Amino acid sequence: MRLADWLKENGRTATWLAEQVGRDQSFITRVKNGSAMPSIEVAAAIQRVTSGQVTAVDYLPTASSADPVSLTAEGAAA
């Protein structure tokens, strides 16, 4: 499940999720919008917070997504 979809379906915001995973709201917004890739640590934290509904696999680019080379990985260090 896409992060944006999970947040919408569960009535949560990027700000709320950022607080839960200990990252900046602007970074979580970029992850939600698909313009940034979370580190494996952040992806794991998101997976825990979403009870496994959003997994690391959900961030893998598809043929119809943005150029994966332009995506940035962030969030490894707090």
Mean predicted confidence (pLDDT) in 64-74: 53
How high is the pLDDT of residue 73? 55
Give the confidence band of 56 by pLDDT, cuts at 50, 70, 90: confident
Residue 61 CA: distances (Å) to CA of 25, 49, 69: 22, 22, 10
pLDDT, one tens digit per residue, over 10-50 is: 999 999 999 999 999 999 999 999 899 999 999 999 999 99
Is the pLDDT at 77 greater than 50, yes or no?
Answer: no
What span, in angstroms and rounded, lies between the C-alpha atoms of 37 and 33?
A: 10
Chain position carrying tokens 């990027």: 14
Task: Report the alpha-carbon distance of residue 64 to residue 16 in Å, rounded.
Answer: 29
Model pTM score: 0.76
In angstroms, how far is CA 74 from the centroid of its own chain? 10
